[in-house]
């Protein structure tokens, strides 16, 4: 259903329509068009310039047009507006699904979202390993806990006569990640690229998530980055969000750790990238017999900027009843950036139900600084020079002046090469050119600790016969 109530006036004419969202586990913003939000099978149009109460409205209801048996949560895994201007998503089948060829809850079919409903394309994918990316490519993430994980890309090659997307039959391996032990992000989930081409991997699990015991495989780092296209080095560029211990029983960590203690069974939700930032959430089912609703904002280099939200311990013991920051089982998140504001959407199982939206302002005020490790970093000098006379007749006497700039240390040595087979170690030499021609002059300067820099000026001296 579409969760609507109708109010009639005395003439039995509908005067008001009320729509609400019940317990909400899954929602998605349409990639390449974040003014469209889809939760369950309902689509909303969002205007981020308006106050939240008047900023969105229900525009489409897709469930009546889908005839197959669906997962009870009725959610789109991927939603992308592709290069043909049309929007496509993948829907998961339910336990009772059986079309004679495929059966059970492990299948996804690609649908086109239209004004008339969701149109089945007949394109099927098996399992959770596939997702459609903003550039239209189909990405497959093959995860192996305690072993290596592989990312395979199937390029979008075009559209058929019915405007169904067509992907390459053969995929290209674009990443290979070694996740053995506590050095990697074990068996994580691929979550998009940062804007500097880093692939983000997120592990949302705990050692015992209530369904499958993961043991030591979720007791390391929970989010990390690798270079997109790296299939050989298998090196992590950075890793963060190290786990607590399973026996951890204090309040939710304030230092960016990933809490696998406090009785939690299904701690993590998703990680998303948006412009220069990464957001990941910890919904914490069964955390202290309740949930968390904590979200972490990170810079693209893995540095945590802030965390926000409300854990159940504060909701029960400190905050007034009905505090808006609390939610239960926010399994999925959606993010977008509008100007200098970042918007985060998530669902809610039971504290308020429905959909929550957070607004993070002031992104343009953030500055980054590089602090060198292992002592002060030394900067190199910058070589430069000039000459009083660069053009003349034989015999040309040119007076050179050192115009170099020192780095963190003083310049102690100068080496001039005048291009005629002669050199000088003076700081401000005078040199006589005895043959006509064009001469390239270079200067190499050296700092106190041996750091060097060289400048070369081609054809700098021109000498004629007269």
Q: How far apart, in whole angstroms, are the C-alpha atoms of residue 284 and residue 287?
A: 5
Q: How far apart are CA 410 and CA 369, in angstroms?
A: 25
Phi, psi angles (nearest 5°) of residue 350: -150, -20
- Give the domain ranges of the chain: 23-365, 385-464
Do the Cβ atoms of 368 and 299 come closer than 8 Å?
yes
Cα-based angle 289, 291, 294 (whole degrees, multiple of 5): 145
| Beta-sheet pairing, 277-285 with 294-299 | antiparallel
In terms of Cβ atoms closer than 10 Å to its own Cβ (0-12, 13-18, 19+), residue 258 is: buried
Partners of residue 396 on adjacent β-strands = 433
Half-sphere exposure of 280 (CA within 13 A, CB side): 32
Cα 64 to Cα 377: distance, rounded to the nearest angstrom:
64
pTM here is 0.75
- The DSSP line for 73-93 is T--EEEEEE-TTS-EEEEEEB
Cα-atom radius of gyration of the chain, to the nearest Å?
A: 31
Contact 107, 60 (CB under 8 A): no
Please tell me the class of the 23-365 domain: mainly beta
CATH of region 385-464, choose from 3.40.50.300, 2.60.40.10, 3.40.50.620, 3.30.70.580: 2.60.40.10
CA distance 194 to 273: 6
Beta strands in 127-248 (DSSP E): 130-132, 138-142, 148-154, 156-159, 165-167, 172-178, 189-193, 198-202, 221-227, 238-242
Tally DSSP H helices, then E strands, for the chain: 1, 35
Triad 302, 303, 308: Cα angle to 5°? 105
Two tokens, residue 440: 């390239």
Q: Do domains 23-365 and 385-464 have the same CATH topology?
A: no
pLDDT tens per residue, the chain (466 residues)?
567 788 899 999 988 888 788 888 889 999 999 999 999 889 999 999 999 888 988 999 998 899 888 888 788 888 999 999 999 999 999 899 998 999 988 899 999 999 999 999 999 998 777 889 999 999 988 776 555 678 889 999 999 999 999 999 999 988 777 654 445 555 556 666 777 778 888 888 887 655 544 445 577 888 888 887 767 766 788 889 999 988 999 999 999 999 999 988 888 889 999 988 999 999 988 888 888 889 999 998 899 999 998 887 665 666 666 677 888 888 899 999 998 899 999 998 877 788 999 999 988 888 776 666 665 667 888 999 999 889 999 889 999 999 999 988 889 999 999 999 889 999 999 999 999 999 999 999 988 877 889 999 999 999 998 6
SS3 state at 368: coil
């Amino acid at each position: 259903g579409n969760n609507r109530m109708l109010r009639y006036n005395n003439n039995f004419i509908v005067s008001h329509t009320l729509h609400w969202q019940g317990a909400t586990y899954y929602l998605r913003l349409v990639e390449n068009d974040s003014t469209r939000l889809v939760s369950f099978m309902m689509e909303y149009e969002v205007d981020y310039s308006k106050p939240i109460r008047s900023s969105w409205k229900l525009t489409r209801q897709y469930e009546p047009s889908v005839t197959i048996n669906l997962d009870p949560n009725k959610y789109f895994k991927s939603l992308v507006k592709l290069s043909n201007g049309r929007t496509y998503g993948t829907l998961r089948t339910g336990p009772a699904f059986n079309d004679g060829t495929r059966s059970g809850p492990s299948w996804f079919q690609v649908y086109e979202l239209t004004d008339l409903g969701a149109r089945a394309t007949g394109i099927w994918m098996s399992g959770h390993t596939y997702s459609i990316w903003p550039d239209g490519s189909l990405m497959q993430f093959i995860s192996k806990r305690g072993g290596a994980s592989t990312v395979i890309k199937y390029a979008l090659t075009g559209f058929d006569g019915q405007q169904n997307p067509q992907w390459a039959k053969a995929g290209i391996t674009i990443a290979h990640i070694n996740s053995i032990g506590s050095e990697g992000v074990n068996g994580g989930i691929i979550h998009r690229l940062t804007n500097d081409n880093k692939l983000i991997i997120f592990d949302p699990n705990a050692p015992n998530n209530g369904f499958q015991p993961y043991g030591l495989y979720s007791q390391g780092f929970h989010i990390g980055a690798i270079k997109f296209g790296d299939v050989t080095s298998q090196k992590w560029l950075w890793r963060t969000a190290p786990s607590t211990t399973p026996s951890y029983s204090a309040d939710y960590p304030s230092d960016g750790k990933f809490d696998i203690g406090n009785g939690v069974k299904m701690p993590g939700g998703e990680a998303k990238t948006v412009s220069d930032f990464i957001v990941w959430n910890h919904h914490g089912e069964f955390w202290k017999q309740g949930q968390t609703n904590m979200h972490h904002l990170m810079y693209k280099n893995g540095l945590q900027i802030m965390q926000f939200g409300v854990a159940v311990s504060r909701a029960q013991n400190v905050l007034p009843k009905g505090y808006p920051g609390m939610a239960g089982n926010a399994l999925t998140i959606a993010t977008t950036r509008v100007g200098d504001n970042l918007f985060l959407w998530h669902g809610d199982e039971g504290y308020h139900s429905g959909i929550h939206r957070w607004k993070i302002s002031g992104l343009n005020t953030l500055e980054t600084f590089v602090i060198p490790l292992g002592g002060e970093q030394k900067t190199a000098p910058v070589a430069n020079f000039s000459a009083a006379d660069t053009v003349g007749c034989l015999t040309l006497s040119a007076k050179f002046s050192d115009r170099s700039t020192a780095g963190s240390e003083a310049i102690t040595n100068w080496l001039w090469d005048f291009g005629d087979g002669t050199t000088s170690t003076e700081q401000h030499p005078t040199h006589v050119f005895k043959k006509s021609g064009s001469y390239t002059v270079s200067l190499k300067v050296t700092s106190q600790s041996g750091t060097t820099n060289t400048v070369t000026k081609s054809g700098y001296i021109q000498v004629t016969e007269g």
